[in-house]
Structure 1
Amino acid sequence: MNRTRQSLRRRRPTLVAVAALLLTLTGLSPGTGGTAAAAEARRANGAPILPVTACADLATDGTTASDLSAVPDAPTRITSATVVEATATVPAYCFVKGYVAPQVNFELKLPLSTWQGRYLQQGCGGLCGYISATTFPAAPDPACEARAGGDFALAATDDGHTSPGPFSAEGWGQDQQLRIDFGYRAVHVVSVAAKAVMKEYYGTPPRYSYFNGCSDGGREGLMEAQRYPEDFDGIIAGAPAAYMPFLASEHTAWVARANAGTDGRPVLTADKLSGLHSAVLAACDGDDGLIDGQIDDPRTCDFDPASIQCAAGVDRTDCLTPAQVTAAQKLYAPPTDENGQLLYPGREEPGSEISWAGPPVPWITAPPGTPTFAPVTADNYLRYLAFPVGQPGVPLADWEFTSQNFAELLPEQHTIAALDPDLSEFRDAGGKLILYHGWADTLIPPTGTTNYYRAVQDNMGGPAATNRFARLFMFPGLYHCTGGGPGPDNSDLVHQLVGWTERGAAPQKIIATRADANGNTTRTRPVYPYPIVARYKGTGSIDDAANFAPAPPATRPDDHVDWLGNDLLK
Structure 2
Amino acid sequence: MKPLWLASTIVAGWAALGAPATGQASEGLSPGGVAPRSSCAGLTGLTLANTQILSATQKSGYCNVIGVINKRTSTQDPDHFTYAIGFALNLPNTWHGRFEMMGGGGTDGSLQSDPQGSAGIELGQGWAIAADDGGHEDSASNAVGGYQDDDANAGGSAHFAIDAQARRDYGYNGIEKTATVAKQIISSYYGLDTVYSYIMGCSNGGRDAMVASQKFPWLFDGVISQNPGFNLPQAGLAEAWNEQVLGRLATTTDVNGQPFIASTFPAQDMEVASAAILSACDALDGLVDGIIDNYHACTARKVYPALASYTCGTGSHGSTPHGGSCLTSTQVDALKKIYSGPVNSNGQRLYSNWFWDAGIWTPPSAPGAGWGFWNVVTAPVPGVNTAINLTLGAGAIPMIFQTPPVVTPVNGPTGQEAFVFHFNFDTDAPKIFASTQAYPESSMDFMAAVSTDLRPFRQRGGKLIVSSSVNDGIFSGASIARWYRKMSQRMGSQTGDFARLFMVPNMAHCGGGAATTSFAGNELDAITNWVEKGIAPDRIVAANTNATSPYPAGAPFDPRVAVNFPTGGTRPLCPYPRIPAYQGSGMTNNAANFACVDPQFKPGGDHDFFDDDDGRGNNAQ
TM-score (norm 1): 0.83
Q: Structure 2: which amino acid aligns with 1:226? A: Q
Counterpart position of 2:134: 159
Counterpart position of 1:82: 57
Change (3 A) 1:188 1:259: same
- 3-state SS, counterpart of residue 161 of structure 2: coil
Q: Structure 2: which amino acid aligns with 1:401? A: F
Task: After TM superposition, give the deviation of residue 330 of structure 1 in Å.
Answer: 2.1
Give matches, 1:74-223, under 5 Å: 75-85=50-60, 92-102=61-71, 103-113=84-94, 115-132=95-112, 134-136=115-117, 149-163=124-138, 169-223=157-211
- 3-state SS, counterpart of residue 457 of structure 2: helix
Which digits, 9 at most, give the CA deviation of each residue in 1:469-523, with x for residues without a partner?
11111122222222333344434111110011011111111011111269x9712
* 1:286 aligned onto 2:287: no
Rounded to whole Å, the distance in 2 between the matches of 1:292 and 1:373 is: 30
Q: Structure 1: which amino acid aligns with 2:260? A: R
Contact 1:488 1:514 in 2 (8 A): yes
Task: After TM superposition, give the deviation of residue 215 of structure 1 in Å.
Answer: 0.9
Contact 2:243 2:421 in 1 (8 A): no
* 1:303 aligned onto 2:303: yes
Counterpart position of 1:400: 424
* 1:423 aligned onto 2:454: yes
Change (3 A) 1:139 1:168: closer
Change (3 A) 1:80 1:268: same
Task: After TM superposition, give the deviation of residue 350 of structure 1 in Å.
Answer: 2.9
Contact 1:209 1:234 in 2 (8 A): yes
Task: After TM superposition, give the deviation of residue 94 of structure 1 in Å.
Answer: 0.3
Counterpart position of 2:584: 538
Partner of residue 496 from structure 2, selected from 455, 464, 467:
467
- 3-state SS, counterpart of residue 332 of structure 1: helix
Task: After TM superposition, give the deviation of residue 262 of structure 1 in Å.
Answer: 5.2
Counterpart position of 1:318: 325
Contact 1:297 1:439 in 2 (8 A): no
Change (3 A) 1:547 1:228: same
- Please list every run of 5 or more consecutive structure 2 residues that lacks an aligned counterpart in the other structure: 22-29, 72-83, 140-149, 253-258, 409-415, 435-441, 549-565
Partner of residue 338 from structure 1, selected from 342, 345, 369:
345
Rounded to whole Å, the distance in 1 between the matches of 2:312 and 2:119 is: 50
Rounded to whole Å, the distance in 1 between the matches of 2:345 and 2:392 is: 24
Change (3 A) 1:322 1:44: closer
Change (3 A) 1:560 1:309: closer
Counterpart position of 1:363: 374
Contact 1:345 1:451 in 2 (8 A): no
Rounded to whole Å, the distance in 1 between the matches of 2:170 and 2:517 is: 32
Task: After TM superposition, give the deviation of residue 549 of structure 1 in Å.
Answer: 1.4
- 3-state SS, counterpart of residue 522 of structure 1: coil
- 3-state SS, counterpart of residue 467 of structure 1: helix
Contact 2:235 2:474 in 1 (8 A): no
Which digits, 9 at most, give the CA deviation of each residue in 1:266-309, with x for residues without a partner?
22222321122122212221111111111113342222333322
- 3-state SS, counterpart of residue 303 of structure 2: coil
Task: After TM superposition, give the deviation of residue 434 of structure 1 in Å.
Answer: 0.6
Counterpart position of 1:509: 539
Contact 2:220 2:462 in 1 (8 A): yes
Q: Structure 1: which amino acid aligns with 2:63? A: C
Rounded to whole Å, the distance in 1 between the matches of 2:592 and 2:405 is: 58
Rounded to whole Å, the distance in 2 between the matches of 1:48 and 1:543 is: 38
Rounded to whole Å, the distance in 1 between the matches of 2:504 and 2:267 is: 25
Q: Structure 1: which amino acid aligns with 2:433? A: L
Q: Structure 1: which amino acid aligns with 2:99? A: Y
Task: After TM superposition, give the deviation of residue 104 of structure 1 in Å.
Answer: 0.5
Rounded to whole Å, the distance in 2 between the matches of 1:543 and 1:270 is: 27
Give matches, 1:411-490, under 5 Å: 411=434, 412=442, 413-461=444-492, 464-490=493-519
Question: Greater shift after overlay, 443-452 or 338-347?
Answer: 338-347
Contact 2:51 2:69 in 1 (8 A): yes
Task: After TM superposition, give the deviation of residue 319 of structure 1 in Å.
Answer: 1.3
Contact 2:311 2:329 in 1 (8 A): yes
- 3-state SS, counterpart of residue 225 of structure 2: strand
Task: After TM superposition, give the deviation of residue 405 of structure 1 in Å.
Answer: 3.3
Contact 1:478 1:488 in 2 (8 A): yes
Rounded to whole Å, the distance in 2 between the matches of 1:428 and 1:37 is: 25
Contact 2:583 2:593 in 1 (8 A): yes
Rounded to whole Å, the distance in 1 between the matches of 2:583 and 2:234 is: 41
Change (3 A) 1:262 1:427: same
Change (3 A) 1:159 1:148: closer
Give matches, 1:369-380, under 5 Å: 369=381, 371-380=386-395
Contact 1:226 1:420 in 2 (8 A): yes
- 3-state SS, counterpart of residue 121 of structure 1: strand
Rounded to whole Å, the distance in 2 between the matches of 1:558 and 1:328 is: 16
Change (3 A) 1:299 1:109: same
Task: After TM superposition, give the deviation of residue 558 of structure 1 in Å.
Answer: 6.3
Contact 1:169 1:385 in 2 (8 A): no
Task: After TM superposition, give the deviation of residue 108 of structure 1 in Å.
Answer: 0.8
Which digits, 9 at most, give the CA deviation of each residue in 1:192-236, with x for residues without a partner?
010011011111121100000111111111111111111101101
Give matches, 1:519-534, under 5 Å: 522-534=568-580
Partner of residue 598 from structure 2, selected from 552, 560, 565:
552
- 3-state SS, counterpart of residue 386 of structure 1: coil
Rounded to whole Å, the distance in 1 between the matches of 2:599 and 2:354 is: 21
Rounded to whole Å, the distance in 1 between the matches of 2:115 and 2:85 is: 17
Rounded to whole Å, the distance in 2 between the matches of 1:212 and 1:388 is: 29
Counterpart position of 1:55: 40
Q: Structure 2: which amino acid aligns with 1:538? A: G
Which digits, 9 at most, give the CA deviation of each residue in 1:159-186, with x for residues without a partner?
1112379x96432111111000011100
Contact 2:106 2:203 in 1 (8 A): yes
- 3-state SS, counterpart of residue 101 of structure 1: strand
Task: After TM superposition, give the deviation of residue 128 of structure 1 in Å.
Answer: 1.2
Rounded to whole Å, the distance in 1 between the matches of 2:36 and 2:136 is: 31
Rounded to whole Å, the distance in 2 between the matches of 1:237 and 1:268 is: 31
Contact 2:403 2:431 in 1 (8 A): no
Contact 1:268 1:327 in 2 (8 A): no
Counterpart position of 1:255: 242
Change (3 A) 1:399 1:453: same
What count of residue pairs does the alignment treat as equivalent? 515
Rounded to whole Å, the distance in 2 between the matches of 1:214 and 1:139 is: 13
Q: Structure 1: which amino acid aligns with 2:320? A: V
Rounded to whole Å, the distance in 2 between the matches of 1:552 and 1:558 is: 16
Contact 1:341 1:563 in 2 (8 A): no
Rounded to whole Å, the distance in 1 between the matches of 2:156 and 2:353 is: 23
Rounded to whole Å, the distance in 1 between the matches of 2:447 and 2:118 is: 29
Contact 1:488 1:525 in 2 (8 A): no
* 1:382 aligned onto 2:397: yes
Counterpart position of 2:334: 327
Rounded to whole Å, the distance in 2 between the matches of 1:522 and 1:286 is: 22
Task: After TM superposition, give the deviation of residue 324 of structure 1 in Å.
Answer: 2.1
Q: Structure 2: which amino acid aligns with 1:360? A: A
Rounded to whole Å, the distance in 1 between the matches of 2:619 and 2:66 is: 38
- 3-state SS, counterpart of residue 345 of structure 2: coil
